[in-house]
């Protein structure tokens, strides 16, 4: 693990110069104070790479890859956490706002590499702009032109193209805002899980009291939490699951909970 203890520019000596040959930091590079490089990143920087203070860029157990072409830039704000297995490719510009968390195996591309049907022609390019305090789950892909508003939450496995509104929760391919249909779908899945866990002859209705299910006490909330974590890419707590009175409450909790980024 390498820690950058002071902001340094590409022409300075010290830790950054020693890392340059190892990491491929050939362009203009500035890593903020307290930035941690965990594992050995695979970096080809012919443009500009700048991070703010207190960032964490993980490359263990699976290496992360950054490719920054000439004239392109990757600008990362303060306290950003990018988990392992990331793939970042910039031909124009990628900006990641402060306090954003990006889960493992995420891909961020501001380009198409080549045109459809013609591998010899360069693809289209458009900046990718990710706001502040965004939570991005595992295996999310952000395509050229993606713009993610502050505080947005992107569920694991989603593909983002276009504009994601601030403070929204989105999922799917392409990513869309979670709404009534998502809650109903979650409710049906939760009911099926409850039926299986507690050996019920039929699935409980959305307003059936969980506490009245035989075998619910004392370990029902914990058993349900573990089953939900296996089926849904959401960050849940035993306290929140235990506070749910009905299946509908659990479905609502799943819709509003942040995606599991598995950064730790």
Put simply, whether the predicted model's pTM sits higher than 0.85 gets the answer no
> What's the total number of domains in the chain?
2
Q: Which of 47, 26, 134 minimizes the C-alpha distance to 89?
A: 47
Token pair of 201, please? 């002859």
Q: What is the pLDDT of residue 186?
A: 76
φ and ψ of 219, to 5 deg? -105, 5
Domain boundary (157, 177, 197) is at 177
Q: Which of 44, 31, 27 minimizes the C-alpha distance to 89?
A: 44
pLDDT tens digits, one per residue of 10-58:
334 444 554 554 454 555 888 899 999 998 889 999 999 999 999 999 9
Report the share of the chain in percent with pLDDT over 90: 46
CATH code of 202's domain: 1.10.1200.10
Rounded to whole angstroms, what are the CA distances from 199 to 16, 171, 182, 192, 263? 59, 31, 26, 10, 35
Question: Is 217 a member of any domain?
Answer: yes
φ and ψ of 94, to 5 deg? -130, 125
- Cβ distance 34 to 57 under 8 Å? no
List CB contacts of 205: < 8 A, sequence separation 6 or more.
Answer: 191, 247
Task: Examine the domain organization and report whether 241 and 122 are in the same domain.
Answer: no
Classified as helix, coil or strand, 51 is strand
Helix (H) / strand (E) element for 248: namely helix 247-256
Structural domain boundaries, residue 104? 2-177
More confident residue, 216 or 19: 216
Task: Examine the domain organization and report whether 79 and 118 are in the same domain.
Answer: yes
Question: Is 211 a member of any domain?
Answer: yes
Question: Is 262 a member of any domain?
Answer: no
- Cβ distance 231 to 223 under 8 Å? no
List CB contacts of 245: < 8 A, sequence separation 6 or more.
Answer: 209, 210, 211
Domain boundary (177, 210, 229) is at 177
DSSP string, 175-237: TEE--HHHHHHHHHHHHHHHHHHHT-SSPPPTT-BGGGSTT-TTTHHHHHHHHHHHH--B---
List CB contacts of 187: < 8 A, sequence separation 6 or more.
Answer: 206, 247, 248, 250, 251
- Give the separation between CA 12 and CA 10, rounded to whole angstroms: 6
pLDDT tens digits, one per residue of 74-132:
999 999 999 999 999 999 999 999 999 999 999 999 988 644 454 455 568 899 999 99
Domain boundary (177, 195, 213) is at 177
């Amino acid at each position: 693990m390498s820690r950058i203890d002071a902001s340094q520019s590409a022409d300075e000596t010290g830790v950054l110069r020693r890392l340059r040959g190892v990491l491929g930091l050939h362009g203009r590079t500035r890593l903020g104070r307290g930035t941690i490089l965990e594992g050995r990143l695979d970096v080809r920087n012919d443009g500009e790479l700048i991070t703010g203070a207190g960032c964490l860029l993980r490359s263990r157990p699976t290496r992360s890859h950054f490719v920054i072409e000439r004239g392109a830039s990757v600008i990362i704000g303060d306290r950003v956490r990018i988990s392992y297995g990331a793939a970042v490719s910039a031909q124009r510009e990628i900006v990641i706002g402060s306090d954003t968390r990006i889960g493992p195996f995420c891909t961020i591309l501001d380009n198409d590499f080549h045109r459809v049907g013609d591998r010899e022609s360069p693809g289209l390019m458009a900046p990718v702009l990710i706001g502040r305090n965004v939570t991005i789950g595992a295996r999310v892909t952000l395509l050229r032109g993606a713009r993610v508003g502050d505080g947005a939450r992107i569920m694991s496995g989603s593909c983002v193209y276009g504009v994601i509104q601030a403070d929204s929760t989105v999922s799917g391919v392409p990513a869309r805002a979670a709404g009534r249909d998502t809650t109903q779908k979650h409710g049906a899945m939760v009911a099926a899980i409850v039926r299986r866990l507690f050996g019920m002859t039929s699935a409980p209705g959305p307003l059936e009291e969980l506490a009245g299910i035989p075998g619910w006490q004392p370990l029902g909330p914990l058993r349900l939490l573990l089953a939900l974590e296996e089926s849904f890419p959401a960050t849940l707590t035993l306290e929140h699951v235990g506070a749910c009175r009905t299946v509908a409450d659990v479905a609502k909790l799943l819709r509003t909970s942040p995606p599991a980024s598995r950064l730790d």
